[in-house]
Amino acid sequence: MTRTSDASAERPLIDGAGGGDATSGQRRLTSADLAISTAHQAALRSIARVVDETAEPQDAGRAAAGLADQLRGGRVLVITGAGVSTDSGIPDYRGPNGSLKRHRPMTYQEFRHDPAARHRYWARSFIGWRHMGQAGPNRGHELLAEFERRGWISGIVTQNVDGLHAAAGSQRVIPLHGDLSVVRCLNCGNTEARPHLDARLAEANPGYVERIDLDPEAVNPDGDVTLAQHHVDAFVMVGCLVCSSVELKPDVVYFGENVPAERKREVAALEADSSSLLVVGSSLAVMSGYKIVLDAVRAGQPVGIINGGPSRADAKATWRWRTRVTPALEDLFARLA
């Protein structure tokens, strides 16, 4: 899930209590209210999940040799996470210096049902997205594209929303959690390219960017940053090009939101075309990514992991290489080429 940050949103989504007469400032909760609150709380539990050690890291040389043999066999499905994009200047989430240590992501329920939270997101994203938009593929992205060209991997399912695998030349890429470069209207469904929306926002907010003193290291993986409330209040949001609604949302999957059914079918088709799984740069804390590992294990397929820290799937993996992503991919390429 994409982590759209909202460090201030610890208040309940729904004012009022579940029983008794409605009082001033409160109202009786409906079944829809309770469903929203339940989904929000489940999303918060997912965000808070800690990935602990479940298996000892293997000897690096032995793990590298095993992963090389796995790739040599071809038809390897690769699932990537934030650790692939850190060398592009995009921070990860759950690493030692991950963005989750300084902010709590916004849930889908907050974004969808709290207009103030949605306005805060767009003010902050208007600033932070510039950093994301400037990021380019790193050597790790390029190597995975080369692995595909040589027939070693069948395709990539990425949990990232930065679009860097496609930019590096990978052909069969499924963005499991969507793409930040597209914006969708929640009211009418119209889509708009993010650069086009950004130009409209710049026109509506002259001088806004120049008034913000941004530390590039404070940008989160979803392009969000923390802004003072007076900057949020001064931001002017624009509406949908078709229906004028300001209920615009980046076309990404939030915590508390489901992966679209069509995308699930695309993943299933890629799984069917693959004979093993390689996890690269992900702790697999989110179920949508971890499920792909469970699918591979049920199918009796080997699972390899390259990650800088513990992964939720370590105990299920045939090969576990605890190391930085790009140097590991360089090593594997040298062994195979």
Catalytic positions, written as ranges? 177
Please check if 185 is assigned to a binding site.
Answer: yes
> By three-state DSSP, how is residue 321 classified?
strand
Give me the DSSP letters along 32-95.
HHHHHHHHHHHHHHHHH------SPPPPHHHHHHHHHHHHHT--EEEEE-GGGTGGGT---SSS
Strand order in the sheet with 248-252: 191-193, 178-185, 248-252
Residue type, 142: E
Residue type, 249: K
> By three-state DSSP, how is residue 276 classified?
strand
Give me the DSSP letters along 236-258.
-----TTT--S-EEEEEPBBT-P
Cα–Cα distance between 114 and 283 in angstroms, integer?
Answer: 30
> By three-state DSSP, how is residue 129 classified?
helix
Token representation of residue 289: 């990514």
316 touches 303 (CB < 8 A): yes
Beta strands (DSSP E) in 161-302 are 173-175, 178-185, 191-193, 248-252, 276-280
Please check if 240 is assigned to a binding site.
Answer: no
67 touches 319 (CB < 8 A): yes
Taking CA atoms, 251 is separated from 140, 172, 193, in Å, by: 25, 19, 10
Cα–Cα distance between 197 and 123 in angstroms, integer?
Answer: 13
Alpha-carbon dihedral of residues 317, 143, 221, 97, nearest 10 degrees?
Answer: 60
Cβ-Cβ contacts under 8 Å for 262 (sequence gap 6 or more): none
Binding-site positions for Zn(2+): 185, 188, 230, 243
